[in-house]
Chains A and B, each alone.
With several copies, the nearest count.
Chain A
């Protein structure tokens, strides 16, 4: 398990590879954690049932932002069906960060946004 503040996570936070907007996105979701003010916007372009492009914008702690960045790597190129079946536990495993209960919400913010974005797909 990675430390919450492992180099890899901090790099993702400081230099996210998937940060940005998609102009003509086919799905777009804004999700917040009111308790700490964290927010992410997820943009997807879904073509022929496949996620061809994925970007996010947002504000928040290292965990919420880095995990959003990692999540989009994980689902890009997948069918929306496959992406939708990504279980919470599976995603946390992929993240591989050792998280305290209070910080779980941070790590899952983008995953919740993704699930909403894919709801009717």
Chain B
């Protein structure tokens, strides 16, 4: 990406020294860093417009409400939703998925049916379905191919008329694999099932168009896309939100309350009980504007270049295995790897001494670890503020690990 040096300057944390070394942050799949524009938007909100939303006629209240609803419009625009009514603000992708579990599937569970997820999912797209499963709905998992994609043939065979939901991650947080969600959408819909996309690893990194994907639900987190913690998004088609039961109950999600009875609010507010994370929405708004200004297609291109470089450098390392597609066009900028004979925690600890932040462990995907036949992995993941130099530092770091352990 042209001007990446200038862009790095927008991220104050990247000036930090870790153990005397410059920070090389390669853990963006866990959470992203924040540009000054986002930090400032939050600060400005608290210093100038902070108030409770929705029910106020005073000036600050109006400004806060406008800022909050404006963020909803910005997000709707980002993923090309039909209307901002289809955007529900939640805490994170995990809550978005739980909302669908509780409000859409739980009421159906006692009468059976089936949910299909995959073995490459993050725990957040597995455990909620086990909960629904415990209420009577079947749960099955599609396997992966040897190319680390979802086995569409097998998936097709699994989906049947009784399938209520097919769900998959758009991009894997371990393998990097970008799944063919348009095809999976078709398989689901051809069988009368709804389709949920876990977009936690895609919306931050590439253009995502819910109308093109034709998904029924899509969930993602603000903190992985330059935004603040504590704010996430559930997109859902209007018709579903209209017919779904509320999730949480309380202030703001109601129209009228008597001791006997409650009329719920219109969508999307029906799903937002209590005072929302207004400053979180304001920060997310700034983050989306920042991403849009660069351009999501440009970000994707930058990450392809970065991934290609990383794959190439990793392939030269002896005794280091990687997991995931080897084609940079088919994966996000996520490299999971293992150094022979060295536990991933030791890899990450030793890299940390060089100022390089990577993740180690099961990456919230224990079933996938099992499927890959490993206990844990080390993972490096890049974003807009990373460049080839960061990858080179990583490779140097891995070489040091190997030397330390005599591998």
A and B directly contacting (CB within 8 A) = yes
Q: State the A residues within 8 Å of B (CB).
A: 4-5, 10, 14, 34-38, 59-64, 100-103, 106
User: B259 near A: Cβ within 8 Å?
Assistant: no
Identify which of B56, B61, B66, B346 gathers the most chain A CB atoms within 10 Å of its CB.
Answer: B346
Q: Which residues of A contact B255 (CB under 8 A)?
A: 34-35
A selection of 30 A-B contacts at a CB cut-off of 8 Å is: A5-B349, A5-B350, A10-B404, A10-B405, A14-B406, A34-B263, A35-B55, A35-B255, A35-B361, A35-B362, A36-B343, A36-B345, A36-B361, A36-B376, A37-B361, A37-B362, A37-B376, A59-B375, A60-B343, A61-B343, A62-B405, A63-B346, A64-B343, A100-B62, A100-B349, A101-B65, A101-B66, A102-B57, A102-B61, A103-B57
- B202: Cβ under 8 A from any A Cβ: no
| Residues of chain B within 8 A of A103, CB atoms compared | 57, 345, 349
In the complex, A103 Cα to B369 Cα: how many Å? 21
Q: How far is the CA of A101 from the CA of B70 in the complex (A)?
A: 13
B360 within 8 A of A: yes
Q: Closest chain B residue to A61 by CB distance? A: B343
CA distance A106 to B344 in the complex (A): 13
Interface residues of B in 42-65 (CB under 8 A from A): 55-57, 59, 61-62, 65
Q: Mark B285-327 against chain A: 1 for CB-CB distance below 8 A, else 0.
A: 0000000000000000000000000000000000000000000
**With the chains together, A115 CA to B346 CA distance in Å?**
26
A37 contacts B346, CB within 8 Å? no
The 10 A-B pairs at the shortest CB distance, nearest first, are namely A37-B375, A61-B343, A61-B345, A34-B256, A102-B57, A34-B255, A61-B346, A62-B346, A37-B376, A36-B361
Taking CB atoms, residues of chain B closer than 8 Å to A106 are 345
Residues of B within 8 A of A5 (CB): 346, 349-350, 404
B346 contacts across to A, CB distance below 8 A = 5, 61-63
Residues of A within 8 A of B362 (CB): 35-37
Encoded as 1 (CB less than 8 Å from any A CB) or 0, chain B from 384 to 407 comes to 000000000000000000001110
Identify the closest chain B residue to A5 (Cβ). Answer: B404
CB distance from A14 to the nearest CB of B (A): 7
**Contacts A35-B55, A37-B362; A102 near B62 (Cβ below 8 A):** yes
Measured CB to CB, the closest approach of chain B to A31, in angstroms, equals 13
> In whole Å, how far is B190's beta carbon from the nearest beta carbon of chain A?
39
Report yes or no: A4 in contact with B405, Cβ–Cβ below 8 A. no
Given contacts A37-B376, A61-B343, 9 further A-B pairs with CB under 8 A are A5-B350, A14-B405, A34-B255, A34-B263, A35-B55, A36-B376, A37-B362, A62-B346, A102-B57
Interchain CA distance A5-B352 in the complex, whole Å: 13
Which residues of chain A are near B375, meaning CB under 8 Å?
36-37, 59
What mask results when residues 163 to 195 of chain B are scored 1 for a CB within 8 Å of chain A, else 0? 000000000000000000000000000000000
The residue in chain B whose Cβ has the minimal distance to the Cβ of A7 is B404
A100-B57 in contact (CB<8A) = yes
Segment 330-361 of B: residues with Cβ below 8 Å from A = 342-346, 349-350, 360-361
Distance between B61 CB and nearest chain A CB, rounded to angstroms:
7
Q: Give the residues in chain B near A4, CB-CB below 8 Å.
A: 349
Q: Which of chain A's residues has its CB closest to B401's CB?
A: A5
Q: Which residues of A contact B56 (CB under 8 A)?
A: 102
Residue on A nearest B254 in the bound complex, by CB: A34
Chain B residues within 8 Å of A10, by CB:
404-406
Closest to A60 in B: B343
Bound state CA distance, A5 and B346, in angstroms?
A: 9
Residues of chain B lying within 8 A (CB to CB) of residue A14:
405-406
Output the least CB separation between B183 and chain A (Å).
34
CA A38 – CA B61 in complex, angstroms?
A: 20
Measured CB to CB, the closest approach of chain A to B58, in angstroms, equals 9
Residues of A within 8 A of B342 (CB): 62
CA distance A60 to B345 in the complex (A): 9
Q: Which of B59, B360, B404, B406 contacts A36 (CB 8 A)?
A: B360
Task: State in angstroms the CA–CA spacing of A14 and B341 once bound together.
Answer: 9
Q: Which residues of A contact B345 (CB under 8 A)?
A: 36, 61, 63, 103, 106
A100 vs B62: C-alpha distance in the bound complex, in angstroms? 8
Q: Which residue of A lies closest to B342 (CB)?
A: A62
Q: Is the CB of B349 within 8 A of A101?
A: no
Docked complex Cα distance between A35 and B344 (Å): 12
Name the residue of chain B whose CB is nearest to the CB of A64: B343
Query: Which residues of A sit under 8 angstroms from B404, Cβ to Cβ?
Result: 5, 10
Residues from chain A with a CB closer than 8 A to the CB of B65 are 101-102
Q: How far is the CA of A69 from the CA of B292 in the complex (A)?
A: 47
In whole angstroms, how far apart are the Cα atoms of A63 and B256 in the complex? 22
Q: Which residues of B contact A35 (CB under 8 A)?
A: 55, 255, 361-362
Which B-chain residue is minimally distant from A106 (CB atoms)? B345
Most buried by B among A62, A64, A106: A62
* Residue of chain A at shortest CB distance from B69: A101
